[in-house]
Structure formats: C-alpha cells, structure tokens
Chain A
Amino acid sequence: MSSIITCEHVVKRYDGVVAVDDLSFSVEEGEIFGLIGPNGAGKTTTIRMMMDIIKPDSGEVTVFGEKLGETTKNKLGYMPEERGLYKKLRVLESITYLASLKGMDRRLVPEKADKLLGRTGMLATRGKKIEEMSKGMGQIIQFITTIIHDPMLIILDEPFSGLDPVNTELLKDMCFDLKNRGRAVILSTHQMNQVEELCDRILMVNKGRAVLYGDLSEIKSGYQSNSVLLDYLGELGEVPGVSEKRARKDHIELVLDGKTTPGEVLAYLVKHDINVNRFEVATPSLNEIFLMEVGKHRE
C-alpha cells in the first residue's frame, strides 16, 4: 500500500491561536481512516488544509508525493459537514457542474450520474430541482457529487448525520466499495460506533495535536481494562484476586485487584468446576477511550 495523502508537521494559527499544532499523519490506499476529536480540536482546519482550501503556516501536505495544486484537487472529493447545493438547479445540472469543476468531461457525467442515482434509488430525481428534495435526499446527491469524478481520496465530514437507517447503510456500503477499489476514505465524525465499524486506522486530535494515531485494533488492545467479562452456570463464591463484581445484563464484570492476571482467574474457575459460557478480557469501547483521552487533556 502507498500513501495517498501525507501531512508532515503541519501548523495553522488563527489570530495567534494555534488551531493545528505540528500534525503528521498519512492515509493509505484502500483504507477507511477515522479523523476524530472533540469540537474545536482542529479537524475541519486539517481537512481544509488537505483540500488546499487554506494553506498551512508551516509543514507540508502532499498527494501522491506531489504538492497540492490544481491537478491534485481533481484527485480529491470533499463533502463538508453542513451541506447544500444550488437550490434552483436541477439534480443533473448540479452534478454536472460540480463534476466538471473536478476536471471530469461534461459529456461523461450523465451516464455515470445515472449509474450512481440508480444505485441509490434516486434516478427519478435527476430532473428535479434541489429545492424540491428532502434534506436526506439532498445529502445523497451531495455524496454522489463528491465521488462521481472517481477521486483517490474522499473526505466525508459527518456523513451520517441526518440520514435514516436505510440511507446510512447505503452510504456505508458505498464507503466499503470505495475502499475495495483501492480508494482512501477519511471519515470525520463524532459517532464512535461508526468509526469502530468502518475504520481501519484512526487519528484522534485534541487541541490541534495528535493524541492517538494508528491501527484501531492495536490502539484498542493498548487500552485493555483491568477486568474480565464472565457468563457462567453454578455458584461462583469468592474469587481470589477479584476486588469487585459488577452485574451486567447477561454477564458479570470481575474487576481484578491489579496483582492477578485474567489467566489466573480462568485457572481458578476451571479448577473449581465453574461452568464457563463466556470468558473475555474487557476492552474499552472507542467511545470510552475518546472520553478518557479528551478528559486527560482537559485536566
């Protein structure tokens, strides 16, 4: 895999306030990359620098090793968080105009647009004006305008907000399709469950700086909590090394005392003929990690 976009030591200040502080990361071909962080963390500024909408004060952003410019813009697709299209234009006119600004031949647009509109079940809207459509439908059209020119990197800012479950699934499927075709998708969102479900790697930023960066499962494994999840049959009684038992809906959580390992607990259970249905070392959710990391930096 090779890097599609690389940010190296990127810094951006507004009125003396540092919005992005020495940020370095890269996004590879064929991956879905989560860009997460609390409000005001510098995500939008980072995205705008990647899109060449604003210039970094220092550091460098490159696409396929090339400095950002008019040609690199055509390789990128961007769907901003707050969405809108020309209300008076018809769907096909909107798609054609925005696709042509991304360097796509206008004559090729209708066929491709029909394909994408057909896939999203919106072919009937191609002649409609944007103002005649619902917000969710407009959002799908905007997604189509983002990917129609077949960009190598697609940046989606909160793509699922305002979408119904059916369209959310549709969008997820299309993201996986893009990934499978070797495209990179950057997902900027606050919905941690979506990140866990979709992303291969993440970058968590807080106050303009990278807090976490890398493979999602590796990051999560680094946050193993000091407890195990247990579902069993029989009488458990006192378990040595367990400082607390927390009852959950269909299992209990055993909080270890810090000196005992999960293996020692399992050995004890087997030795005492406890019928174990499930034994799992607890790992925190991305949401918990997010809260933990952001909270740490607030202190």
Chain B
Amino acid sequence: MNKTLLIFRHEFLHTIKRIGFVVMTLVVPVIALLAIGIYQLVTTVTEPSAVEVTTIGYVDELGGFDGYTTQGAIEFARYDTRDEATQALTSGDISEYFVIPHDYILTGLVNRYTLEKQLETPPSMVAAIKNFLTSNLLSDRVSRDTAIRIEAPLYVVVTRLTETGDIASDQGGYGNAIVPGIFAFLLAFSLNFSASYFVQGLGEEKENRLIEVLLSSVSPRQLLIGKILGLGAAGMVQVAVWLISLPLILGLASATIGGFFSTIELPPNFVVLGIIYFILGYLLFAVLSAGVGAISTGVREGQQLALVYTLFAFVPLWFSSLLFVFPSSPIWKVLTIFPITAPIAMMLKLGVTDIPAWELAASIIILALSIIVLLFLSIKIFRVYLLMYGKRPGLGEIIRNLRNA
C-alpha cells in the first residue's frame, strides 16, 4: 500500500478511536434528543396548569365596563368598592385586581393591586386587561369584528417573489437559517477539535522522537498529506454523523414541538457549499496546524499557539446577531472573505440572505489560494523544524530559514 495511504489509515483509525472524538461525535445528537425529551416532559407536566383559569378582580369607578369578562384563561370579577376587592384579594378569591378610575378616559391610568413582588406586569396580563378595556370601550360603537381587528390589527405574511414575479422557491426567514446556523456552529467545533488533534498528535511524535523513525521511513510530504487526509476523513465522519442525525432530530422536533420547527427548510446550494466549505476549512486548519505543530516544542505549546487561529473560527458566531439585523453589513463581507473565518461566516450568511456571486467566488478563491500557499510553507517548515527540539524559533528566524530552505 502507498505510504501516504498507510499514514492516512493510521491517523484516521487512531483519531476515531479517541474517547474525546467519540464523545464529541455522539454528544450532539444525544443532547438534541435529550432536549426534545425534556421539552415533551415539561409540556406533559405543565399541560394541566396551562388551561387553569385565573380570576382577577376589577373596580369600575367610571362605569360601563360590564362585558367581555373572559379573556382567554383570565376571568374578570367585578367588585363595587376597593375595600371589597382588597378583601377578596387577601382572602385568596382573586389573584389581583385593578381599578378603572373616574378620569380613566382622560389619563388612561389604571391602578393594579397584587400580593406578588414583580419587576413589571406580566405581558399576558397586560394583553388581557387591554383587550377587556378595548372591547368594553368599543362596545355598541363598532361591530364585534371591527373591535377584534382593532385589538389585533396586524398579521404579516411575507411572500418572496423572483425577479420575474413568480413565487420564489426559497422563502427565507428563520426557518431557512436554522440548519446552516447549526451546521456553522458544529463546523466551528469540528475544525477546532481537528486542529487540536493534529497539533497534539504531531507534538506527541516530536516529544517521544517517533518523528525521526517516521521520517526515516517516509518523506515529510507523505507524512503531512497522510495526516491531513486521515484527520480530514475523521472530521468528515463526525460532521456526517451530525448531518445525518440532524434531519431525523429536526423531523422529530417538528413532529413533537411543531410550530417553528415545521417551517425549517434548507437553503438552495446549502449541501454543495457546505461540503466545499467543510473541505476547504478543514484543509486550511490542517496546514496551519502542521506549521504550528512543527515549530512547537511539545503538545502544550502547540495547542496554545493553535488558539490564535482556532479562536478566529468562532468570531462569525459572536457576530451572528449582527448578521440577523444587518445582513449586508461590510463586517460580514470581511468575515466571509477572510480565509480563517470564511467557512463559518459563509454558512451563517447562507441561511440569512442571498450572497452575491462575486462574494462567493472571492471567498472560495482566496480560501483555496491561502491553502496552497500555506501548504507550500508548511512543507518547508515541516522539513526545517520537525527535527528541532528544545527552543521554539522566533518569527524572524522562521522567515530567514524559509528563505534558505
């Protein structure tokens, strides 16, 4: 068997047998299943209390607020005086009460009395009282349908059209962003773990001098390429497990939780671009790790140095809320074109908005060129520094040696 393939096989099997790798691969689907299970458990437990009717009192000093005393799960009980209402509250007949004063029409002021310490009035209570007041104020002045419309005047349904005026197949929205978002998050983790394994493996081989035995058997190029492919295949297995389990879990979540999850769909080109960015992202991190692993004196130092670029992978995730609000912000253009952040940023952006062809092309070309240049440099660094132990070289020394190599 070709020696590169032998190294590939060894690195792949060595990586997928690591406890850390197995735990990380399985933990994502397991956590998702657990979350669905917990959701079901919580909804089962809380279901009976959801239909429980709450009675609150009110004192109508202005007059005319007699109807519409049922608003959802809240019943309104009328009291003639504040004292009566207070007594009902303290005796537990009602959970709270409010007073509609004489000058309510002029001021809009309503006094609310409760036994509980609260930061503010719960939104569901505000909505119930508002609807009760509106319905009574409009009673006999407009039709019931108009009154309901005044209470809830807006329900927006957006339809995206293509430039020819047809309904677009890709309708966007949060349902479109969820899968790329999760994939970007998982990809960032996978790249980090792979980079960490790479630097750790090389560090161990340097520490115990196995590297000399390996290099007496294979060339630095065979070693580097075998390692990159082996770890890449392991990373691909990890992401494949996540991606295969993702539709099943989302299907389960959509059946169980319904609502939002049922709106989930994949943006067009997601699968193709996901594979392209996974491969390119992985190659970039692997060549960076090879260089860092070669110049480091051991495992610990290598992992510290690797933090410089592995942390960058998470930068787009920190800015993701900005993306949802300002998808065309120039920061996002920078993040999708800068090679280290490009894979994660592009996956996130793909789910939120359309990406111009030039941006996609620039991102992929710059990423691919960076990989080629860094691969070339890594092989040189590999040759020069793999057999140097003890002191880590400075940047100036590395540049000088690369010129001479």
Contacts and interface: CB of A to CB of B under 8 A. Distances in A.
Interface of A: 48, 51-54, 70, 73-74, 76, 78-89, 97-98, 100-102, 106, 145
A76 B209 contact: no
B6 A78 contact: no
Given A78-B213, A98-B213, 8 more contacts: A51-B215, A51-B216, A52-B216, A53-B215, A70-B218, A70-B219, A78-B212, A80-B212
12 contacts: A52-B216, A53-B212, A73-B217, A73-B218, A79-B213, A83-B208, A86-B14, A101-B214, A101-B217, A101-B218, A102-B217, A106-B1
B387 A70 contact: no
A203 B377 CA distance: 37
B209 A98 contact: no
B1 A82 contact: no
Given A48-B387, A97-B10, A82 B209 contact: yes
Main secondary structure of the interface of A (DSSP, over half): loop
- What's the interface size class on B, roughly? 20 to 34
Nearest to B201: A86
Contacts of B14: 86, 88-89
A70 B3 contact: yes
Interface of B: 1, 3, 6-7, 10, 14, 204, 207-210, 212-219, 387
B209 A84 contact: yes
Nearest to B219: A70
A145 B387 contact: no
Contacts of A83: 208-209
Contact of B213 (A70, A100, A145): A145
A74 B219 CA distance: 12
A78 B214 CA distance: 10
A145 B214 CA distance: 12
Query: For B6, B14, B208, B217, which residue has the most chain A Cβ atoms within 10 angstroms?
Result: B217
A53 B209 CA distance: 13
Nearest to B388: A14
Contacts of B208: 82-85, 87
Nearest to B207: A84
A130 to B, nearest CB: 10
B207 A76 contact: no
Contacts of A100: 1, 6
A101 B387 contact: no
Contacts of A76: 216
A57 to B, nearest CB: 11
B399 to A, nearest CB: 14
Given A100-B1, A101-B3, A101-B6, A78 B216 contact: yes
A51 B214 CA distance: 11
